Structure 1
Amino acid sequence: MKEFINEELNYEPSNLASFDFKKLQGDKKFGSQGFWFYCDDTKLARAIYCVLWQEKLVVNCVSELIKDKTYRGDTLNSLNTLFGKYGAKVEKILTNIQDYSEKDRFKNKVKGFNKIYHTIGNFAILPNNEIEDIRITVREEGEYKEKLKPTTINRYRGNKSSKLHDYFDQFLIVLEKWYYYSDEISDDWKKLLDGNKELFPKNFDYFREILFLNSYFGAGGKNCRELTKGYPSALGPPTFEKAENYIREKTQIINQRAEIMIENIEKRLK
């Protein structure tokens, strides 16, 4: 962490808030050790997780975050569900917009969100135990089928069978219900979360606090804000209005989290 801040951020930790982790692709020192590159699982991201959550959530960062991956980095607010990979669905969202200046303005907003999407304020860690026999949607011979397969919380969140379409606020609603033993969640979600039970804090309020998730909740940390209620799955584009709302609300949350995370990083590095 200190080396990166000194070498790449001109000795200023606050510059980390806007740093796009995609820039680390191919970087042997701060990027990825393996063949696959994930912004939320780079060496730098793991170092940040250790600084922020060692002892609060993880005990041994080397084994739990790096070697055994009991916990793993997760990108919270999705880009691809609404806008498609590389913005493939943007033109469909703009179908009914005739004003070219309005189209350009929106495209620039999506580009801006694409940069924010892979910044520290959109990262956290979640338990990463792989649980057997979870019903997930797979594609075989051109068709989508549900099969019992092993998966993790991170992967299942974005799978069609989870019914969450990778929306993080929807996951928090499921998680809160699981904490309070509600029968309103699916058997697969219950099985997956039960299989990671020992890796979660004992109560939901502490989980929300230590991962800096208060922006997703109403006053006093109560009632998760259903920011994506009524939003489409990955198969369909949202309305123009919903797409703009998503960018505005998620950008605000990401920036708020980044500010708090930087404050905590600076305290820990002193």
Structure 2
Amino acid sequence: MKKLTLSLALFFFCTPLILSSSAAPDPEALRLLRQFVAEELNGNLQALADYDLATLEGHPLYGAPGRTFDTDDCNLARAIYALLYTDAMPGLSLATLGTGRPYRGDTMNSFHTLLGRPIADQPGRFAGLERHQPSDDLRARALKFHSAYHTIGNFVPLPNRSVHRATLNTYRGTHPAWLDAFPEFLTQLRLALLNDPQADSFLAELVTENANAFSAFRGPNGLAKFAERLDMQDYLDPRTGLPLPHYSPAAHFKSPSRDAYLAAVETYLATAPDLIQRRARRMITRLQPLLGPVAGGL
């Protein structure tokens, strides 16, 4: 088992960048996920929906050995992307996933922008939320979401080629108007894919830089196809194909009033966890036939 763990860890860290695709499941990704389900989930793939990937920090196989840990870019997340989305965009594979590579995992519904970072000496408290005197109930829901937002239903691989060191991941997260709100990002991405005159000019540059990845998603139905391939159907209106305004951009450092901020938090915590769970179930349904039965306790 130690030899298997070491060889898989070295594969994830040392594999050279090779653009390739295959309809068959990646054997290394499949082996890693099967081992994870056996060891960490006792053979129950359904439990993956609620598994907090932040707990994998420091793990020699499923974490990020030899590099900085990030939940949406850890080895387990990469394996799942490679199994589910290798046909979603050209060349997406284990070898092309990661920082500095053509694709990288991203967190769809974020935490820190709206709720702030954990307060070191106050477990269960978050700096942004505490600035607005929340109720204990809201604190408890925020704490629960702090685990939920690190689950697989909240992670997606995105094209990662950069312009002036900015990527889709970093640009959507730092845009002063979008405030890392995923529905707003999809709205803006749709305009860029359509070459709409109202599209954000820098986002349009990023789409052009990642032209190979986005080639199948140009045109009127492009965003709907993009969402379907990445299990994001719940983010679009099925009748129109337009992004649903599940929640609006908001930030703990940019709210006009306490009431407005707390209302935004209420909406977010009532919406984002359900979106994450529904997508996780969809992903697991597609993973199940790839894995087959997995015995626990390997």
Amino acid in the other structure paired with 1:89: G
Structure 2 letter corresponding to 1:212: D
2:12 aligns with none
Q: What are the residue-to-residue correspondences of 1:73-222 with 2, within 5 Å?
A: 73-86=105-118, 87-94=126-133, 103-132=135-164, 150-160=165-175, 163-203=177-217, 204=222, 205-220=224-239, 222=241
1:57-81, Cα deviation, whole Å (9 max, x unpaired): 2535132115962100000001111
SS at match of 2:239: helix
Greater strand content: 1
State the 1:197 CA deviation: 1.6
Q: How does 1:224-243 map to 2 (within 5 A)?
A: 224-229=243-248, 231-233=249-251, 235-237=253-255, 239-243=261-265
Query: What pairs up with 1:18-33 in 2 under 5 angstroms?
Result: 18-33=50-65
Residue 264 (structure 1) aligned with residue 286 (structure 2): yes
Q: Over residues 11-59 of structure 1, what are the superposed CA-to-partner deviations in whole Å (9 max), with x where a residue is unaligned? A: 0111111000011011011100234110001011100001101133253
- The Cα of 1:91 is off from its aligned counterpart by 1.8
Establish whether residue 244 from structure 1 lines up as the match of residue 266 from structure 2. yes
Aligned runs of 1:6-25 on 2, under 5 Å?
6-25=38-57
Corresponding residue pairs, total: 244
Deviations 1:170-199 (CA, angstroms, capped at 9, x unpaired)? 110011111222111222111111111211
| Separation in 2, partners of 1:44, 1:31 | 7
Report SS of the residue matched to 2:76.
Answer: helix
Gaps of 5+ in 2: 1-32, 119-125, 293-298
Helix, strand or coil at the partner of 2:254? coil
User: 1:59/1:267 Cα in 2 relative to 1: closer, same or farther (>3 Å)?
Assistant: farther
Bigger Cα displacement from structure 2, 150-159 vs 257-266? 150-159
Task: Name structure 1 gaps, 5 residues minimum.
Answer: 96-102, 133-149
**TM-score, L = length of structure 1:** 0.85
- Any conservation in 1 of the 2:159–2:168 contact (CA below 8 Å)? yes
Moved more, 58-67 or 204-213: 58-67
Distance in 1, matches of 2:173 and 2:92, equals: 28
1:240-265: CA deviation from partner (whole Å, max 9, x where unpaired): 12201101111110010000000011
Deviations 1:137-162 (A, max 9, x none): xxxxxxxxxxxxx211111111145x
- Please give the alpha-carbon distance, in whole angstroms, between the structure 2 residues aligned to 1:93 and 1:219: 37
Which residue is equivalent to 1:100?
none
Instruction: Give the secondary structure class of the aligned counterpart of 1:89.
Output: helix
Out of 262, 269, 275, which is 1:253 matched to? 275
Identify which range, 238-247 or 256-265, moves more after superposition. Answer: 238-247
Using a 3 Å threshold, how does the CA distance of structure 1 residues 245 and 60 change in structure 2: closer, same or farther? closer
Residues 104/45 of structure 1: CA separation in 2 closer, same or farther (3 Å cut): same
* Structure 1 residues 72 and 105: alpha-carbon distance in aligned structure 2, compared to 1, 3 A threshold: same
Q: Is the 8 A contact 1:165 1:234 kept in 2?
A: no
1:71 corresponds to 2:97: no
Q: Which of these residues, 56, 78, 93, is aligned with residue 61 of structure 1?
A: 93
